[in-house]
């Protein structure tokens, strides 16, 4: 009898913890939000919390896929090189992923897709094939995304304003 409330609490907590990353992706790509044909999503109920978590995970991955045209090929190597700096806690791979997402969001917001070659393939971080492992990974990425001053600075950019890019400049072809 106690398993259902514990599952609900874990799912609802995870749902809330990955919320900031989902919100940033949703602002950039609103169509990632899956439509609900029937009743509205009710995370307060035990099955609703797990369903809401699964949907949010899918929507985050959809957002990453939608941002592929804005990912410069050099961003990932730059993010990996700078994510492992001493004195920063957390998972270096999650910090690199968060930086890549932040850079793609900034490029999308500025309307600067990378067009010098084929789109960068989507390379998701490999995790065990379980919802628990995927949830833990996205929680790490979300925490790195919200905690990082670099990610926060990139996410705060506005179109039409010149900014010094921390990655190689994206060249817009007419």
Tens of pLDDT, residue by residue, the chain (174 residues): 577 778 888 898 999 999 999 999 999 999 998 876 554 555 555 567 888 899 999 999 999 999 988 887 777 777 777 766 655 556 888 888 888 899 899 999 988 887 766 656 656 566 677 888 999 999 999 999 998 744 455 544 444 333 333 333 333 333
Q: Do residues 76 and 100 make contact, with C-beta atoms less than 8 angstroms apart?
A: yes
Q: Residue 95 and residue 73: Cα distance in Å, rounded?
A: 17
pLDDT score at 121: 60
How far is residue 66 from each of residues 51, 127, 129, measured CA to CA in Å?
Answer: 22, 21, 23
pLDDT score at 57: 94
User: What pTM value is reported for the model?
Assistant: 0.74
The values of phi and psi at residue 53, to 5°, are -65, -45
Q: Do residues 25 and 105 make contact, with C-beta atoms less than 8 angstroms apart?
A: yes
């Amino acid at each position: 009898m106690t398993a259902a409330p514990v599952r609900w609490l874990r799912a609802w907590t995870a749902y809330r913890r990955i919320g900031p990353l989902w919100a940033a992706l949703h602002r950039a790509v609103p169509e990632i939000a899956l439509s609900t044909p029937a009743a509205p999503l009710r995370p307060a109920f035990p099955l609703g919390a797990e369903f809401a978590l699964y949907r949010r995970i899918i929507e985050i991955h959809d957002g990453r896929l939608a941002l592929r045209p804005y990912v410069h090929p050099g961003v990932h190597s730059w993010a990996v090189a700078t994510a492992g700096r001493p004195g920063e806690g957390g998972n270096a791979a999650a910090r690199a992923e968060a930086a890549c997402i932040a850079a793609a969001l900034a490029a999308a917001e500025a309307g600067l897709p990378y067009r010098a070659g084929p789109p960068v393939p989507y390379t998701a971080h490999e995790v065990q094939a379980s919802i628990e492992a995927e949830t833990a990974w996205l929680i790490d990425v979300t925490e790195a995304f919200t905690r990082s001053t670099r990610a926060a600075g990139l996410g705060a950019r506005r179109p039409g304003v010149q900014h010094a890019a921390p990655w190689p400049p994206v060249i817009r072809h007419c």
